[in-house]
């Protein structure tokens, strides 16, 4: 099981980089099987590079700092 507080703490490390580009990230859910659901906000929400941000920044950082089995998905609207 993935520690939700560790995910929150890790997202706080990522947040300043997103905010510097006019965006932000909100944690929606952490499932028992390691799926982290997030919502990109602001400029990040509609950015064509948002999928790369999720996989190359958010997911990679969470895998390195929290749990290797984490998968990050975008919240469906």
- Is the pLDDT confidence value at 77 over 70? no
Total of domains in the chain: 1
Tell me the residue range of the domain where 57 lies. 4-74
Alpha helices in 1-77 (DSSP H): 4-20, 43-46, 50-52, 60-65
Write the pLDDT tens digit of every residue in 10-44: 999 999 999 999 999 999 999 999 999 999 999 98
* Distance of alpha carbon 24 from alpha carbon 12, whole angstroms: 10
pTM confidence score: 0.91
72 close to 54: Cβ distance less than 8 angstroms:
yes
Query: What's the CATH code of the domain at 36?
Result: 3.30.300.130
């Amino acid at each position: 099981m993935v520690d939700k507080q560790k995910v929150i703490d890790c997202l706080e490390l990522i947040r300043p980089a997103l905010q510097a580009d006019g965006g932000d990230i909100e944690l929606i859910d952490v499932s028992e099987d390691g799926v982290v659901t997030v919502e990109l906000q602001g400029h990040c929400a509609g950015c064509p590079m948002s999928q790369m941000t999720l996989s190359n920044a958010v997911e990679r950082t969470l895998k390195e700092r929290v749990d290797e089995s984490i998968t990050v998905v975008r919240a469906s609207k």
